[in-house]
A and B are shown apart, each in its own frame.
Chain A
């Protein structure tokens, strides 16, 4: 099930798409525990942030709490995109179309973007809370 008009752009015949799907399947197998861990990290951050807010009503504590909740939200969103990527990989290994590959590249971009945001959030949060 291939779309010939897009094959010119991607030269899918250059590599066995079956092999590609196998690599993709293996990738998603290892990405799944990471997405679960990312989600757990996010939830732990959000709970800690809420604990900050409940604990004290000082402006400083509220700011701390909001920063921590924000970092948690970034991690949860990173986990969401990781899961989307995993789901699309499963679809790709079933249908194997050029459109699937296009969308897959897009999901890969979102996955790395949100992972980078989470990492930046962690660093900025650590610096701010250190100050």
Chain B
């Protein structure tokens, strides 16, 4: 039973690392998103647009970085549980996993809300222009 559980835990860590790499890539991309407005000022010298771009990019950089960190700690705690089989490590792993899902859920919901608002804004502009 213990061997089987250890196998599942090992495999969990493996797949978590795959997801970690994916989120790590998103993190790097959001870093580019944060610094891109400095080099590309949206075709003009609008400081407001520049700051808005940097705020969105910087915000997602920080948020994604936090998500990556929580997933990394989740993996480390799962490794700790595999080595010791103490439930306290499993509890710790679940706590980090909860933080991972919580912040992923929030960033996705904010993304959906911003997309809906942006869509509504563009629709209003379109209706106004016609």
Q: Given the known A-B contacts A9-B2, A102-B5, A106-B8, are A112 and B90 also in contact in the complex, defined by CB atoms under 8 Å?
A: no
Q: Does B109 contact A (CB under 8 A)?
A: yes
A123 contact set on B, CB distance < 8 A: 22
A112–B19 CB distance below 8 A: yes
Mask for A105-119, Cβ within 8 A of B = 1, else 0? Answer: 110110011011001
Contact-residue size bin, chain A (C-beta under 8 Å from the other chain):
20 to 34
Instruction: Report yes or no: A119 in contact with B101, Cβ–Cβ below 8 A.
Output: no
28 sampled A-B residue pairs with Cβ under 8 A: A6-B1, A9-B1, A9-B85, A10-B85, A10-B87, A11-B87, A14-B87, A15-B86, A15-B87, A23-B91, A26-B98, A27-B97, A27-B101, A30-B98, A30-B102, A30-B105, A33-B105, A33-B108, A37-B105, A102-B5, A105-B5, A105-B9, A105-B12, A106-B8, A112-B19, A115-B15, A120-B18, A123-B22
